[in-house]
């Protein structure tokens, strides 16, 4: 079976919805990232066998639109996957499996989301006199009564796991502080791709000095609840992707280091506890790789849609908090839904590639109670 490696990983800055990328469509966010990956590896567009991109809000095949707008030959096929928050990681897993199956040698994979420009969803009226109704999102499960708002589901998680408001706000403040420190230290220098010309843009979300006291002044989203806009990740714009390549080709190009997928698995929980989907996925991953203790990994990247959800996953998996999102997480950067999994892989790539034989994981909880977990290792291609 051919071996697959991740040879390069890039991303845009993360922009707030309505912020620096407000006039840039999802396809125009993605194109420069794909070109940066080609430049990093010394390849041309025609050498790409497939492009696979995760997206949650655009509709249609945004991957195909992006590669055509970016000047790729029309012969390069591209497809879009939607697993909501897990879309970007799912796209990368599919790319690795495609190379391992011998169906491709070079695949660009990742995710893109533009909360600023995504089309509105409107429910079609069922009668001539009914009025159209705007939809915040598509249904996550078939039972309308159980298809709770995400904030309500987050409250269910924190109540079930006994996580109070103070812990959520403290975790949020820590996420912002870590992200701000990482920016100051130049940690993201080799990840970022400029979109507007010149130097790469800065991530708009992280706020240095954001205090628990300030977060404590915010009102809860649900009556008598603890989840607020402060300890929730806000909608965002951005794109991230990786270059997946057959290992023999990577060696022929002179590559000396790469990130390799060891395994990737999915799991699920009741949609009412949707933020815990990463837990069964991570436990299954651990069993599949010889009962590997996750707390032994060098680094773990987990999506932080809500502080309480992230804390619940960390607690249930007995993870070392110091090794989880050391450069900050989604609470600080923002939540480009279909791209967040790819952003986490890009972060892991650049943090782990400083040394060989380092292992790290990406864990995601997604809508409808789904979860996705992937284990990676650095080394020679």
C-alpha separations of 228 from 9, 89, 216, 234, 278 in Å:
33, 27, 9, 11, 22
How many CB atoms are located within 10 Å of the residue 295 CB? Answer: 12
Cα–Cα distance between 294 and 306 in angstroms, integer?
21
Give the pairing of strands 106-114 and 121-123: unpaired
Cα–Cα distance between 3 and 102 in angstroms, integer?
9
User: Is 335 a known active-site residue?
Assistant: yes
The active-site residue out of 28, 85, 176, 183 is: 85
The active-site residue out of 176, 183, 335, 350 is: 335
For residue 271 the two structure tokens come to: 């949609």
Q: Residue 145: is it exposed, middle or buried by C-beta count within 10 angstroms (0-12/13-18/19+)?
A: exposed
Cα–Cα distance between 351 and 326 in angstroms, integer?
10
First to last CA, the chain: 15
CB 341 within 8 A of CB 303: yes
Q: Residue 186: is it exposed, middle or buried by C-beta count within 10 angstroms (0-12/13-18/19+)?
A: exposed
Cα–Cα distance between 349 and 180 in angstroms, integer?
20
User: Is 85 a known active-site residue?
Assistant: yes
Cα–Cα distance between 227 and 265 in angstroms, integer?
29
CB 325 within 8 A of CB 303: no
Residues annotated as catalytic (active site), given as ranges: 85, 335
């Amino acid at each position: 079976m051919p071996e697959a490696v991740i040879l390069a990983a890039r991303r845009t800055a993360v922009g707030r919805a309505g912020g620096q990328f407000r006039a840039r469509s999802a396809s125009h966010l993605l194109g420069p990232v794909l070109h940066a990956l080609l430049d990093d590896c010394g390849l041309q567009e025609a050498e790409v066998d497939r492009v696979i991109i995760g997206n949650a809000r655009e509709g249609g095949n945004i991957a195909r639109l992006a590669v055509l707008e970016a000047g790729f030959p029309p012969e390069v096929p591209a497809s879009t996957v939607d697993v909501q928050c897990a879309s970007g990681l799912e796209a990368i897993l599919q790319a690795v499996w495609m190379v391992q199956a011998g169906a491709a040698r070079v695949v660009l994979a990742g995710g893109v989301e533009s909360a600023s420009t995504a089309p509105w969803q409107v429910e079609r009226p069922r009668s001539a006199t009914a009025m159209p109704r705007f939809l915040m999102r598509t249904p996550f499960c078939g039972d309308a009564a159980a298809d709770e708002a995400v904030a309500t589901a987050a409250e269910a998680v924190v109540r079930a796991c006994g996580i109070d408001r103070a812990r959520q706000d403290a975790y949020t403040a820590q996420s912002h502080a870590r992200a701000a420190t990482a920016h100051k230290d130049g940690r993201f220098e080799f990840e970022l791709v400029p979109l507007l010309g010149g130097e790469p843009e800065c991530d708009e979300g992280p706020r240095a000095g954001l205090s628990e006291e300030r977060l404590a002044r915010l009102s809860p989203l649900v009556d008598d609840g603890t989840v607020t806009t402060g300890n929730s990740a806000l909608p965002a714009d951005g794109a991230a992707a990786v270059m997946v390549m057959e290992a023999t080709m990577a060696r022929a190009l002179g590559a000396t280091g790469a990130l390799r997928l060891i395994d990737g698995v999915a799991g699920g929980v009741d949609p009412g506890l949707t933020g815990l989907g990463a837990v069964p996925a991570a436990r299954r991953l651990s069993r599949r790789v010889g009962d590997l203790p996750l707390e032994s990994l060098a680094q773990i990247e987990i999506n932080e849609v809500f502080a309480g959800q992230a804390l619940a996953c960390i607690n249930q998996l007995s993870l070392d908090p110091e090794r989880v999102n050391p450069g900050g997480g989604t609470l600080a950067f923002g939540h480009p839904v279909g791209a967040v999994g790819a952003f986490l892989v890009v972060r892991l790539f650049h943090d782990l590639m400083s040394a060989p034989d380092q292992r790290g994981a990406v864990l995601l909880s997604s809508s409808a109670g789904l979860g996705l977990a992937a284990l990676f290792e650095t080394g020679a291609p």
